[in-house]
Amino acid sequence: MKKVKVSLTTRSYCILVGSGTLNSLAEELAKLGLKGKVLMVTNTTVEPLYGKILIDELTSSGYAVSSLVLPDGENFKSLETTAQIYDAILEAGLDRQGIILALGGGVIGDMAGFAAATYMRGINFVQVPTTLLAQVDASVGGKVAVNHPRGKNLIGSFYQPSLVFIDTATLDTLPVREILSGLSEVIKYGIITDPELFSYLEVNVIARGIRGKEFFIDIVEKSCAIKAKVVSRDEREENVRAILNFGHTIGHGIEAATHYQVFRHGEAVAIGMMGAACISREMGLISAPEVERIRSLIISVGLPVYFSGIAWEEIWYHMQADKKAKDGNINFILPTSIGSVVISPVDPHTIRKVVESELIR
């Protein structure tokens, strides 16, 4: 397995990336000295595919394993659903040595991580992400949160996992739409910090199409390494880590305005990246040809660059709850070229002009 280390001052950990490796999870837990009772938190979609495999793997190695199967979907990412995790932890008898194991996508990882962070002020947390989006983004970096009716991820904390264990073979059962949603975050990494990754995607997606085990291992490892480097420099998002929110400001507004029912997260982020690029062009920070490279790759992957049926006022209402909002303006992450971004306040008039002229059809 390939290894990416996330180096932090107090709680460093490793991301292991391989294919067909679920049967080695118990061995990796033992190497870390994690021997407590396990609560596997998963959902109704993932549990029939990988739940029994993982439970058998852990119990055959001597682990006491309980499981909690939650409904699937962003609309269940709430304090009410998280309360069910606390109940399951207590029912399973986990103590401070216990392990919360998140098997699923970003929603499961966020809720299970939030529960792990807050139960007994913190117990062991292991991520086994099964979607591309979670493998390249949600499972890395220690952000754990649940949604509030006013906005996404408003109730949360920073809590690093003990291990992130990625088996890219789980992508074999992932719908194409979810694969594309995950690729949106990979494109993001290329735009904010790595022009070589962006060019790699142009060659391997536009010219050759999405295919092959090695392609996914490659992009997952590259993405995790980029995010690990950023997180290692700024664990609690006090400065440079904010660049990871590129595309998320407008994206979160779109998601919330549609009650998380219309767009996958990566689809909303793709539209948000397009919006941020156009705002940057409007402000004279990036050239038009660079913006068109971004647009071309997003479209070639099969992701949206515009939306319909949502009024500006609805999006703006939710954008104002964004953590980057200040004094009536919103700090945007704006690309200045492929591989470079700046953080800059943008006034509501400019945002509205771009959203209505470039993103709404």
Active site residue 241: yes
Active site residue 227: yes
Facing residues of 65 across strands?
A: 38
Amino acid at 251: G
Active site residue 150: no
Q: Which residues are annotated as a binding site?
A: 72-77, 106-110, 130-131, 143, 152, 170-173, 185, 248, 265
Active-site residue, from 222, 227, 281, 293: 227
Active-site residue, from 245, 267, 281, 282: 245
How far apart CA 322 and CA 313 sit, in angstroms, is: 15
Active site residue 238: no
How far apart CA 121 and CA 35 sit, in angstroms, is: 19
Active-site residue, from 188, 222, 264, 265: 265
Residue pair 126/177 in contact (Cβ under 8 Å)? The answer is: no
Active-site residue, from 43, 188, 221, 252: 252
What count of other Cβ atoms lies within 10 Å of the Cβ of residue 79? 12
Active-site residue, from 188, 222, 241, 264: 241
Which single residue is written with the structure tokens 């591309």? 132
Active-site residue, from 57, 221, 235, 237: 237
Q: Which residues are annotated as a binding site for NAD(+)?
A: 72-77, 106-110, 130-131, 143, 152, 170-173
Backbone angles phi, psi at 134, to 5 degrees: -70, -35
Active site residue 252: yes
Active-site residue, from 121, 313, 349, 361: 121
Active-site residue, from 57, 143, 235, 290: 143
Active site residue 185: yes
Planar angle of CA 259, 86, 110, nearest 5 degrees = 45
Active-site residue, from 188, 222, 248, 293: 248
Active site residue 245: yes
Active site residue 349: no
Instruction: For residue 33, give the nearest of 47, 53, 13 by alpha carbon.
Output: 13
Q: Which residues are annotated as a binding site for Zn(2+)?
A: 185, 248, 265
Q: Collapse the DSSP code of 113 into the 3-class scheme (helix H, G, I; strand E, B; otherwise coil) and give the result.
A: helix
DSSP code for 12: -
Residues taking part in catalysis: 121, 143, 185, 227, 237, 241, 245, 248, 252, 265
